[in-house]
Structure 1
Amino acid sequence: MTLEHFFQCPYCWGTISMILDASASQTYIEDCETCCNPIQLTIHFENNNLTAFEAINIEQ
């Protein structure tokens, strides 16, 4: 199952849309589509429901 999720970039505050795979919780790094800065994403699912989503900047 996939889910579309919207959040704000922690650098430029632009709105980002992502398609999330509800089959597994995960932590990974992805660049902002607008400003290209790296964002650490932490995503948790329980029973195919999004229970936690965190997008933090990576101080470089």
Structure 2
Amino acid sequence: MIEHFFQCPYCWEEISMLLDRSVANQTYVEDCEVCCNPIELTVWFEEQELQGFQAVSLEQ
């Protein structure tokens, strides 16, 4: 697991999440620890090194 810091797409606060390096490509939803809104996270690793990270709001 690695800790990754990023900006919440709702409240713009810097937050962190633990990312699991054992799964190469992941998409899942986690709530912001500040504003509690759901964030869709897309994460990809190559040889357990973080290659990409995207955090988007689920608002339509």
What TM-score results when the alignment is normalised by the length of structure 1?
Answer: 0.92
* Cα distance in 2, alignment partners of residues 17 and 38 from structure 1: 14
What is the alpha-carbon root mean square deviation over aligned residues?
0.9
Which residue of structure 2 lines up, in the alignment, with residue 4 of structure 1? Answer: 3
**Aligned-residue identity in percent:** 63
After superposition, the C-alpha distances for 1:4-58 in whole angstroms (9 at most, x for unaligned) are: 1000000000111111110112100011011111100000000000001000000
1:18-57 pair list within 5 angstroms? 18-24=17-23, 25-57=25-57
Would you identify which runs of 4 or more consecutive aligned residues in structure 1 move more than 6 Å?
A: none
Distance (Å, rounded) in 2 between the aligned partners of 1:19 and 1:31: 13
SS at match of 1:51: strand
Cα distance in 2, alignment partners of residues 30 and 44 from structure 1: 16
Structure 2 unaligned segments of length 5 or more: list them: none
Question: How many residues are aligned here?
Answer: 59
